[in-house]
Chains A and B, each alone.
Chain A
Amino acid sequence: MHESTSSEKNKQAIADRYWHENKKILLSLLSLWFIVALVCPVLLVDYLDQFSLGGFGLGFWFNQQGAILFFVAIIFIYHGLMQRLEARLAVEKAADDSQAES
């Protein structure tokens, strides 16, 4: 009886950790998104244009191609990070379950 409530508690703690870590990942990726969507291609476009990338001014490149490529990367990075987080917490949960059983 005592064991099962502590296991319930642990499950809840793992769920809370998952949500907390998810929010941390979201916050950092959304900051990156903000930079590549608005800062580089719009706010800093003229400054960045003095650098050159493959024949493009860097600001103009962000504006017409770079932002889009970063967006694709951000989503795949998010998918990867969440897969890793879920795998890690699944291991902890399994360890917790086996402890509760023994």
Chain B
Amino acid sequence: MDAQSFSYLFVGLSFALYIGIAFWTRANSTKQFYVAGGGVHPVLNGMATGADWMSAASFLSVAGIVAFSGRDGSVYLIGWTGGYVLLALLLAPYLRKFGRYTVPDFIGERYYSKAARTVAVLCLIFISFTYIAGQMRGVGIVFSRFLEVDINTGVIIGMVIVFFYAVMGGMKGITYTQVAQYCVLVFAFMVPAVFLSIMWTNNPIPQLGLGSQLNDGSGLTVLQKLDQVTVDLGFHAYTGSIRSTLDTLMIIVTLMIGTAGLPHVIVRFFTVPKVSDARLSAGYALLFIAVIYTTIPAVAGFSRLNLTDSVNEVAYEDAPEWVGKWESTGLIAWQDKNADGRIQYRAGHALVPTKPQFTDARGQYGQRLLENAPSDSENEIYVDRDIMVIANPEIAGLPNWVIGLIAAGAVAAALSTAAGLLLVISSSISHDLLKSTFMPSITDKQELLAARLAAATAIVIAGWFGIHPPAFVAQVVAFAFGMAAASLFPAIVLGIFSERINKEGAIAGMIVGLVFSVGYIVYFVFINPHQNNADFWFWGISTTGIGGIGAALNMITAYTVSRFFDAPPTGVISLLKHIRQP
């Protein structure tokens, strides 16, 4: 069977599984729809959280980022996992004790204010839609690459599947589907990693393989070889860094508190039975995530070696088959600058502009010709970073079924995150805006219907974004984390640990944090993109790292403003006493 048939088979089987689960776990009440009835086992919730949070980007792109930037890429590994410590220690147990359905629920009650709740809903909707646009696009891209259907058709197929289990099953359906999706994606990620590790080091455990000696008899370890290869080709050493220490710190801090403030992750801890289960479940979630996140550096290192080995100084005509295949999809491009017919892989961008723009013509070796001007660099090859995971099975010469497996894994990663985000959007509309703010008289049945309608509407909007992606999707990921870090996280943490913060302080804090971070990102990404480099940044902090400063400003503002207004009413103090007990 060829790779494409395997992809159809595995993706089809996984879809059948998800729809089956959706039928089996239909939600009958708002409690089931919002928090799966509050009875999910901590281990299962850990798996669901892992799948919920690991997006198409985690599955496809992070290994590529690490492969191309070495140690500098680790900020994503540390930042995205370290947030779970904050979540488990500072948020999850108390929010579970609080025992309601949404994040704005907590902010609205703790700050005894509909205005605070509404600000929280707006932050949540903006964060979630920013994120989900990328996910739906991701589903489409995965379909187009593996199943060779049109991207838009892929988006629509994804919408239909998510519609089935998110609208019918709510949180209950999503949770059990995500458990299945975690199993699919961890298997899909680990199998090629183990193969790669054996191929280079004979060590079947990728985490250890990355530190082992190469099996080519050179006596070098994998990392020594990586450093040698990267320096030889003019890159910075793989295990070295070119980013400033302060910027590195701030990016890690922002990603950590941003992760802890992501509403679709927080809400997962509302679904377990007890407070202690919330702590335990966060531990399992991170354990399940760590299986993949400690494998990512190994996949990155091996695939960087593979790439260099199989293309550098190789004549285009003798290049492995996958080079031509991925060139035809636009993920690889080659421009023979020195007219020697061989591919030179060096540091620097190969093309100006950096993304390839193909003409219809073919060159003398059969390569696709480009409209791009050559750059000053000697580098002749453009490689999209996503290729590191997608093309791995072919680069490593793995059997066809592994390719099908990766297709199913990537679709699982994208769908599970999209579904989790859709749920928090729909619950914030039906529960926070309708039931708690504008239409308090609706019954449970009507609220459930409203939640389903909101989920359906959100899917359509998300799909529309997937088909007509805003040109800036890649840049706005910094937005989602910056906003979550600068708005929701400080408001929740201060709300739990301080008795003195009142509604005036909290609202002022959220607004200051948001305006500062969003303003900084908008200024550098949209208004003055040519100044978006370390020379102009405030203290050399990039847009990805600015949310940490926003969070600090939020906290300082909240404290200061709270001093000038009355302390919270006694009802809030007893609420605090209540959530602080197990």
Contacts and interface: CB of A to CB of B under 8 A. Distances in A.
Nearest to B83: A71
A72 B211 CA distance: 21
Interface stretch (B73-81, B330-338, B371-379): B73-81
A63 B78 contact: yes
Interface stretch (B245-253, B430-438, B510-518): B245-253
Contacts of B256: 37
A80 to B, nearest CB: 10
Interface stretch (B10-18, B281-289, B321-329, B417-425): B281-289
B210 interface: yes
A27 B221 CA distance: 39
The prevalent SS among residues of A at the interface is helix
Contact of A55 (B93, B211, B248, B577): B211
A42 B280 contact: no
Given A43-B245, A76-B283, A78-B88, A56 B210 contact: yes
Given A68-B294, A75-B282, A55 B82 contact: no
B81 A71 contact: yes
Measured as residues with beta carbon below 8 angstroms from the partner, the interface class of chain A is 35 or more
Contacts of B74: 41, 63-64
Nearest to B211: A55
A25 to B, nearest CB: 9
B283 A72 contact: yes
B279 A42 contact: no
A54 B245 CA distance: 26
B394 to A, nearest CB: 25
Q: Which residue, A19, A76, A86, has most C-beta atoms of chain B within 10 A?
A: A76
A44 B50 CA distance: 30
A37 B257 CA distance: 12
29 contacts: A19-B580, A19-B581, A29-B85, A29-B89, A30-B89, A33-B89, A37-B85, A37-B256, A41-B74, A42-B249, A43-B249, A53-B211, A57-B223, A63-B78, A64-B71, A64-B210, A67-B77, A67-B81, A68-B290, A68-B294, A69-B294, A71-B82, A72-B283, A74-B89, A75-B286, A78-B89, A79-B283, A82-B279, A86-B582
Given A18-B580, A68-B293, A86-B582, 13 more contacts: A37-B85, A37-B256, A41-B78, A45-B71, A55-B210, A56-B223, A61-B211, A68-B77, A68-B78, A68-B294, A71-B85, A75-B84, A75-B88
